[in-house]
Copies of this chain bind each other. A is one copy, B any other.
Amino acid sequence: MAQTDILIVGGGPAGMVAAATSKQYYPDKKITVVKKGEKSLVPCGIPYVFGTMLDSPEDDMIPCGARAEKMGVELMHDEIVEVDFDAKEAIGSDGIRYGYEKLILATGSVPKTPPIENVDAEGVFYVPKDPDYILRMYEKVQAMETIAVIGTGFIGVEIAGELAHRGKEVHLVGSRLLKHAFDPELSDYMEEKMLHDRVRFHKDQRTTKILVDNEGKVTGVEFKSGDRIEVDGVILATGYRPNTEMARRSGLSMRQYDTIYVDEYMRTTKEDVFAIGDCAEKRHFLTKRTVPIMLASTATAEARVAAANLYKINLVKSFSGTIDIFSTVIGDTCFASAGITEEDAAKQNINTVSSSVIVDGKHPAKLPNNRQQAVRLVAMAHSGIVIGAQVIGGTDMGEMINILGVIIEKRMSVYDLLNLQVATHPLLTSGPTSYPIVQAAQNLVVQHIRS
């Protein structure tokens, strides 16, 4: 029997931020993190393990032990298999019982198994946030020449690009690229960039079968169309599901997509038990529906809310729903998105207007390394409240999307954006005369006033 004050199950971004934040708020409490292995990966960094930017998977790993020690947090390597909420004890795989005052579940997510024949064949890999798995996978993938990547979300697109940079022949299979985060034109532009990176894209093909030899090793994949391609290996980037079997088994109330029910303070239905990150329910900021958004940035925001409110209600969560906010790099171009796409808004029957502008990212445009910036704003047709944005450009757009994130979170309208006060500088931004967020807003306002 081990006794602690604050017990955190899971050592990913949510768990570790919950631990660090709890330590800041309650320096006198004993804080214990229980996680499976000794190491952790930076989850979003996993695709870059397979490219040319890191020397080895080790470069993507976090020294959890050292970090926990520095934070003054106890780290235990164990797997919690059940929680006894009445006794306030979590039970480890060897039967060790961890008593707690407050329990935070941050058990994350695991890859989904897609309905593909022979999905367990040798040479088929998932992309779990599991360092030992990734290390083994890395060695095997290094030896392959031709690889099929199934799935065109962020992980699929990023891994495909990185493998191609490494000189692999890559077949990418799926629907239009990053379709949940971007409207079709942007996917088309990404597609161009991917092809430029020497990735072969099998668009709108559905993989139904992994082809294997007599020893059960991958030799190719077969699509629903009957088309086949030969490959040495397959990487399944077909999404994640919350890692919540233990929570369900232990008796927590669950919500759609196998998520754990949480309220605004990240409290579950059991006293003194919180859930944060991929395992916890997310409701969409606009539609208010439960949505399968899994983002480290959202997870860490939830971790900070939970930790602040463990013992007393100190802070109201300042967002009333989750904003899907993403960024990535394809080739050398940044694509980023926040809030709802126009396509998704139409599906949800939301009455929107949109405007896109393209400007030079430096001024004058003749300065070195000038890149064009494209900004698309999606706003409510009546109120002009901004509900979505998509941007394309250089790496500085990775922070520009966060301006738009704040704009969406604060329910700002295109009218508020008309005279946004921004810093502009020749070497850093577009010109003050054409700052793209302002220009796109003005286009929408003028349309509205004149119509």
A402 touches B419 (CB 8 A): no
- Which residues of A371-421 are within 8 A (CB) of B? 395-403, 405-407, 409-410, 412, 415-416, 418-421
**Which single member of B295, B418, B424, B450 contacts A305 (CB below 8 Å)?**
B418
Any B CB within 8 A of the CB of A351 = no
Any B CB within 8 A of the CB of A428 = yes
- Which residues of A303-325 are within 8 A (CB) of B? 304-305, 308, 314-315, 317-319, 322-323, 325
Contacts of A25 in B (CB 8 A): 446, 449-450
Closest chain B residue to A44, Cβ basis: B426
A326 CA to B308 CA, complexed, in Å: 34
Cβ proximity bits A316-358 to B, threshold 8 Å, 1 near / 0 not: 0111001101111100001011100000000000000000000
A397 CA to B402 CA, complexed, in Å: 12
How many residues on A have C-beta within 8 angstroms of the other chain's C-beta atoms?
90
Any B CB within 8 A of the CB of A66 = no
A-B contact pairs, 26 of them (CB 8 A): A24-B446, A42-B431, A44-B426, A45-B367, A54-B366, A54-B367, A60-B364, A301-B438, A304-B418, A314-B449, A325-B422, A326-B423, A326-B425, A327-B424, A327-B428, A327-B429, A328-B425, A329-B427, A396-B399, A397-B428, A398-B427, A398-B429, A401-B423, A402-B403, A405-B422, A405-B423
**Which single member of B48, B295, B367, B419 contacts A367 (CB below 8 Å)?**
B48
Any B CB within 8 A of the CB of A107 = no
Closest chain B residue to A326, Cβ basis: B423
Any B CB within 8 A of the CB of A368 = yes
Asked whether A427 and B395 contact (CB < 8 A) given A13-B433, A319-B421, the answer is yes
A402 touches B400 (CB 8 A): yes
B431 touches A301 (CB 8 A): no
Closest chain B residue to A409, Cβ basis: B421
Cβ proximity bits A9-37 to B, threshold 8 Å, 1 near / 0 not: 00001001100110011000000000000
Shortest CB-to-CB span from A330 to chain B, Å, is 11
A432 touches B13 (CB 8 A): yes
Contacts of A13 in B (CB 8 A): 431-433
**Chain B CB within 10 Å, residue with most, of A44, A328, A421, A422:** A421
Known: A42-B431, A327-B425. 15 other contacts (CB 8 A): A13-B432, A24-B446, A25-B446, A42-B364, A53-B367, A55-B366, A295-B432, A297-B432, A301-B420, A315-B445, A326-B425, A329-B427, A334-B428, A399-B429, A410-B412
